Amino acid sequence: MSVASARQRATTVPVLGDGPANDDGPRTRSLLRFITCGSVDDGKSTLIGRILYETGAVFEDQLGTLKRDSRKFGTQGDKIDFALLVDGLTAEREQGITIDVAYRYFSTPQRAFIVADTPGHEQYTRNMATGASTADLAVILVDARLGLLKQTLRHSFIVSLVGVRHVVVAINKMDLVGYDEAVFERICADYRAATAALGFAQITFIPVSARDGDNVTTRSAAMRWYRGEPLLAHLETVSWENPEQDHQGAVLPVQWVNRPDSGFRGYSGNLAQGQLKPGDAVAILPSGRTSHIARILAPAGEVGNASAGQALTVTLTNEIDISRGDVIVDAARRPPVQQSLEARLLWTSEVPLAQGQRYALKLASAHAHATVSTLHFSIDVASLAPVSAATLAMNDIGKVTIALDRPIAVLPFAASTQLGGFILVDMISHETVAFGFVEAATAAPSAVASPGRTGRLAAFRSALQHFVGPAGSLARTKTAGTIAGHGITGAVLGVCVYGATESLGTALLVAAVDWVFRPLILSAASILAQRIWLRRDHRNRLASENVLGDGI
Amino acid sequence: MIALSHLQKLEAEAIFILREVVATCANPVLLYSIGKDSAVLLHLAMKAFSPGKPPFPLLHVDTTWKFREMIALRDETAAWLGLDLIVHINHDGVKAGINPIASGSRIHTDVMKTQGLKQALDAHGFDAAFGGARRDEEKTRAKERVFSLRSADHRWDPKNQRPEPWSLFNTAKKAGESFRVFPLSNWTEADVWDYIALERIPVVPLYFAAPRPVVRRGDAWIMRDDDRLPLQPGEVVETRMVRFRTLGCYPLTGAIESDATTLTDIIAEMRASQSSERQGRVIDHDGSGSMEQKKQEGYF
C-alpha cells in the first residue's frame, strides 16, 4: 500500500459520533477539583453531604435510602446524617469513619466540581494524599472546639507537598463555641503561623457549621461578624490556574506509539505543559535527537495549535526511534536528563523503605529501576524540621537520593507535576510503596548543554556513590576495608621491590602507583561490568515494552 | 494558552486512560453494554487511537434478555466501525433455565452477567477490561479506582486498593490478575448526555420517549419487549409515552413516563429530575451494601 493511500485510509476510519469539533461546548464551564481534609470527626463527610444536598446533587430515592440508613447507622439522632451519603463501604458505615477517598460530583451554573472526600485517620494518609494529588484546592476542616491538631498540620503539609497551593480553612462546629469570633480569630492566627513555611499562594478562612449549614451555601445569620463569602460562593469564584505555566516549554511524554500501518507513525500522549504547533523544533529525551512537528491530531481532529492538557498524537518530519517513556520537548527549553534524583518520598507501604533494594519507578510514562542510595533525613510533620532517620515507615516523609538504571528527563516537582512526580512500586508485591517529588537537580544542567554528557556524568557520579555506599552502611565499611587492604598490599609490594632492587625510590614509586591505580582500575572495571549488565537487562525489558507500545 | 473546558478535560483524561491500558496490558477488551456510557466510551476509543482503530475487540455479555433495539444497535455499530465484536452467552445458565422472571433478578444477574463475564474474560485471556462505570452512579463505585485490580478469580478487595496519585497508574500485575479500567470514572450522567449531544453520538432509541407497550409493576413501568414476559393476574398491557434513563435486561429495567423525544428534552428533563438514574435498576435495591457485595464477587 502506498503511503498516500495508507494515509487516506487512515484518516477515513469512522468515528462513532459524527459530531463537530468540541472546541465550543454548549455550556463551557470550568472544572474545579478540590479535596476536604482534616482530623477525624471534624465533619468532612457531613460538610460534603450538606453541599451535595443543597446543590441538588442528592436525588429523592437516594434521600430515602439516606433516611433509612441515618436511623440504622447515624450519629445525628433523628436528623439526617449527611456523612452517610459519602461513606460508601460497608466497613465505613459500620465504623462511622471514612477509609478510602470518595469522589463526588456536583455543579452549579458557574462551575462543575469534583470533590475528593478523604480520610482523617493517620493510617489512611496515603488515600488522603491520593485525593490531594489531583486537587486544585484543599478545604481543610478544623474543629473550633479543638483548634489545630497534629493531623491538621500533617494534612496541610501533605497538601502542600503534593502541589496544592490554594487552601480554604473551614473552621467547623462554630455552633458549639457559641459562634465566638475570638475563637475563630485565634485559630486563623495559629494556622497562619504554623503553615508560613509551606508556601501556599492563598489561604481563606471561613467559620462554618456543617451540621446546620451556616456559611456553607448561605450566609450565617448567627455570625454576622464574618464579612467574607460562604464556602460554596468562594469555591464558585476562586481562581487557581498558575499563570507561570504559560511560559513553559512544551513537554509531551510519549505514552504510546501509534502505528496503524506503514504510512503513519504517530506519538500519543497528553501535553503536560506549554504549547505545540506544526513546524516547532523539538528534541527527544533522553536521546537528545532533534526533529520538527509535522502534524498534530487532537480529539477534535487535526489542529494547528495544541495547548497543555490536550490528548494528542503528533507526527515528526523525520524518522527517529522513539518509544514509550521518551519525552518530546521544546528544543530550546529542554528539561534536564538525569540518572540520579534528589527527591522527597511519602512512604505509603506497611513494609518500610529498604535502602539498596531495587524498586520500579514510574515518572510520566517513563519506567526505570530505582535504588534509594541515601536517606538524608525524615521530616517531622508538626515542626517541619528534618530529623535523622534509619528508614521510612508508612506515612513518613523523607529526603533521599535515588540512583536510576537509565537516564530520564525530569523537572523539579515545583515546576512540573508531570515531570516531577513519580511513584515507586515494589518489584515483587507490585504494591505502590511511595509517592515521590523531584527536588531541584544536583548536577545543574544547562538548556543548551548536551544532555547525553550530563547524563553520563551523573551516571558516573551515581555509580561511584552507589559503590562507596552511604555513611555508616555496610557498603561504606567494606569500601574502607578494601582501601586499607590496598594500602597493605601496596606496602608489601614496595617491600618486595626494595628487597629485589635495593632502590628506595623505585620501591616507593611502585608502591604509590600500585596504591593509586589498582583500586581505580578495579573500580572502573566493576562499574563498567555493572553498566553492561544493566544495559543488557534494560534492553531486554524495553524490547517487551516496545511490542506492547506499538499496539499489537 | 487556551484553557480547556470541563468536558474537554474529562475527554483528555479518558483518552489518556485508554492509551495507558493499550501501552501496558497485553490483551485488553472493551466491555460494550450498548448503553449511553458504552457509546461514549467507544467514541472516545475511536478518537484515542485515530487514525488507526482501537487495538482491542468489543465484548458483549448477552443475558438473552436485552431489548431488541439494543441488539440491533450493537450489531450495526460493530459492523459500521469495522471492529471485532465478541458476543458471549452463558450457555450453562441458559441450559439451567435461568431467567429474570422465574429465577429472580439476583440469580439472573449473578449467573448470566457476572458468571458470564468471568467465563468470557477467562476464555479469551483478557488481562484488562474497559467498562463505562462512573463514580457518580452509586456509593461503592465512588470509591473505586480507575485501574481496579482483580485477583485471578476476579475478586475485588475494596480495603486494599492501590493509590492513584496524579495520573500515575500502577499497572503492574501478576499472572492471572487483571484490571477493570474505568475511563469515565469522573463523568456524571449530565456530562455523558452533554457529550453525546455535542459529538452527536448515536444511542439506543429507547432513551427517547415514544409510545411503547408497558405494564405497571410496583413503582415501575416494565416494557413488554417480547411475549416472554408473562402477565400477572390483573395486569394489562397499555401503550404509554415512556423512555428509559438506564438500560439493562428489559424485565428488570423500569421506564419513566416522559415526553422527551430529543437530546435537548432529555437533558432538560434530567436537570429537573429529583431521582437518580439507577432508580430504575431493580438489582441495586437488594440492600444498601449490595453493589459492594456484587462487585466483590466479580460484577462490573
pLDDT tens string B189-240 = 889 999 999 999 999 999 999 999 999 988 889 998 888 888 888 888 999 9
Cα B71 to Cα B33: distance, rounded to the nearest angstrom = 10
Which of A237, A35, A110, A255 minimizes the C-alpha distance to B12? A255
Task: Enumerate residues 6+ apart whose C-beta is below 8 A from A253.
Answer: A269, A270, A272, A325, A326, A327, A364, A365, A366, A418, A419
CATH number at B148 reads 3.40.50.620
Residues B55 and B120 in one domain: yes
Domain membership of residue A396 as a residue range: 337-446
Cβ neighbours of B166 in A, within 8 Å: 133-134, 417-418, 421
The pLDDT assigned to B298 comes to: 60
CB within 8 Å of chain B, chain A residues 164-223: none
* SS3 letters across A515-529: HHHHHHHHHHHHHHH
Q: Which chain A residue is nearest to residue B10, measuring alpha carbons?
A: A31
A 285-344 residues with CB < 8 A to B = 297, 299, 307-311, 313, 324
Domain count, chain B: 2
Among chain A residues, CA nearest to B185 = A103
A434 occurs within a structural domain: yes
Q: Say whether both A325 and A273 belong to one domain.
A: yes
- Classify residue A14: in a domain, yes or no: no
Same domain, B179 and B215: no
Helix (H, G, I), strand (E, B) or coil at B160: helix
Q: What is the pLDDT of residue A19?
A: 42
User: In A507-535, which positions are buried (b, 16+ CB within 10 angstroms) versus exposed (e)?
Assistant: beebbeebbeeebeeebeeebeeeeeebe
Cis check: omega of the bond before B202, within 30 degrees of 0: no
Residue A106's SS3 state is: strand
B115-133 pLDDT, tens digit each: 999 999 999 999 999 999 9
Dist. CA B81–CA B58, nearest whole Å: 11
What does the DSSP 8-state code read for residue A309?
T
Instruction: Give B96 to chain A, closest Cα distance, Å.
Output: 33
**Residue A180: predicted pLDDT:** 94
pLDDT digits (tens, 9 = 90+) for A431-455: 999 999 999 865 443 333 333 444 4
Restricting to A residues 16-75, those with a Cβ less than 8 Å away from any Cβ of B are 16-20, 22-23, 25-31, 59-62, 65, 68-69
| C-alpha–C-alpha distance, residues A188 and A167, integer Å | 12
Query: Both B116 and B258 in a single domain?
Result: no
- Asked whether residue A370 falls in the same domain as residue A262, the answer is no
ipTM of predicted complex: 0.89
Where residue A346 sits, what CATH number does that domain have?
2.40.30.10
Note whether B178 and B212 are same-domain residues.
no
- Indicate if A196 and A310 belong to the same structural domain: no
| pLDDT reported for residue A491 | 84
Tens place of pLDDT per residue across chain A (552 aa): 333 333 333 333 455 554 433 333 445 678 899 998 887 777 777 888 888 888 877 766 666 777 776 666 655 555 666 666 665 555 555 555 556 777 888 888 888 899 888 776 666 778 888 889 999 999 999 999 999 988 888 889 999 999 899 999 999 999 999 999 999 999 999 999 999 989 899 999 999 998 888 999 899 899 999 999 999 999 999 987 765 555 589 999 999 999 998 889 999 999 999 999 999 999 999 999 999 999 999 999 999 999 999 999 999 999 899 999 999 999 999 999 999 999 999 999 999 999 889 999 999 999 999 999 999 999 987 778 899 999 999 989 999 999 999 999 999 998 889 999 999 999 999 999 999 999 986 544 333 333 344 445 544 554 455 455 545 455 566 667 777 887 888 888 888 888 888 888 888 888 888 888 887 888 788 778 767 766 665 454 333 332 222 222
Name the burial class of residue A374, with classes exposed (0-12), middle (13-18) and buried (19+) by CB atoms within 10 angstroms of its CB: middle
Q: What is the pLDDT of residue A547?
A: 26
CATH number of the domain enclosing A219: 3.40.50.300
Give a yes or no: residue A454 inside a domain: no
User: What pLDDT does A239 receive?
Assistant: 85
Contact A270 B188 (CB under 8 A): no
pLDDT-derived band at B95, boundaries 50, 70, 90? very high
Q: Which domain, by its residues, includes B235? A: 204-284
- Give a yes or no: residue B157 inside a domain: yes
For chain A, the domain total comes to: 4
Do B101 and B238 share a domain, yes or no?
no
Query: Do B159 and B145 meet the contact criterion of CB atoms below 8 Å apart?
Result: no
Predicted pLDDT at A244: 55
The enclosing H or E element of A465 equals helix A451-468
